[in-house]
Amino acid sequence: MYLTRFRVNTARREGRELLGSPHRMHAAVNMSFPDPPARDGSGPRVLWRVDRNSASEVVLFVVSPGRPDMTHLVEQAGWPAATDTPGWQTYDYGSFLDQLTKGSTWSFRLTANPVHSIRRTADEPTKRTAHITPKHQAAWLLSKQDSAGFAITETPPGKRVLDQGDELQLVVRDKRDLRFAKAAERRTVSLTTVTYDGRLTVTEPAVLRRTLVQGLGKAKAYGCGLMTLAPVR
């Protein structure tokens, strides 16, 4: 498994167009692999996420079974004339995953599509609907933690600054309502994404490894589901 980091040049029109369409970004990411893995859920897949750290620092992260070649992305949305860097950095992700141990604590980031199924009447088919409030979006992630191999870390009582709402080390931010064209099917896709930042404790290392390489939740083709970990500072 590999983890790749690519910084998008937001001063270039092509870069802004990719950032404006998850469908186009999905296609660009897939073009990094001669033979992308199957998406039937049977094994690791290509996952990606865009982190907007600032107006000028926008980073694309990709987790994949194979090593990508992002030459085309550098030419379209990077700095092709730069000679001191290849334009992207790829790291051995498998060795990192092997180091995960039960009880260890990590900072995490996840962009996801928190949805639930509803019906207004008993005879109406269920409809997938986005959670729209931070409270319900946080509850969505909490409902996934047992089956995903982790537990959101609790805030020690002495460090809680609010009367309620900060019992867990979890922040829900950057809600985005996306609407973009999917030209091949002549339809428009609408979805809601949010970004989660926080700390987690590993409860089942093997299960969490599967979550990190297969993704969490829906809309994985459109930049959702990729959770990354970092040492707690």
Q: Is the dihedral of CA 27, 113, 174, 203 positive or negative?
A: negative
Contacts of 141 (CB under 8 A, 6+ apart): 110, 112, 114, 152, 170, 196
- Indicate if 112 and 207 belong to the same structural domain: yes
Render pLDDT for 199-228 as a digit per residue (tens, 0 to 9).
999 999 999 999 999 999 999 999 999 999
What pLDDT is attached to residue 64?
Answer: 95
What pLDDT is attached to residue 226?
Answer: 98
Other C-beta atoms closer than 10 Å to the C-beta of 209 total 19
- Indicate if 160 and 207 belong to the same structural domain: yes
- Indicate if 158 and 125 belong to the same structural domain: yes
What pLDDT is attached to residue 62?
Answer: 98
Residue whose entry in the numeric block shows the structure tokens 């996306």: 178
- Indicate if 125 and 147 belong to the same structural domain: yes
| Number of domains the chain contains | 2
User: Measured between alpha carbons, how far is 67 from 2 in angstroms, rounded to an integer?
Assistant: 6
| Range of the structural domain that residue 222 is part of | 100-231
- Indicate if 126 and 24 belong to the same structural domain: no
Residues in the chain with pLDDT values less than 50: 163
Contacts of 32 (CB under 8 A, 6+ apart): 62, 64, 68, 69, 70, 72, 73
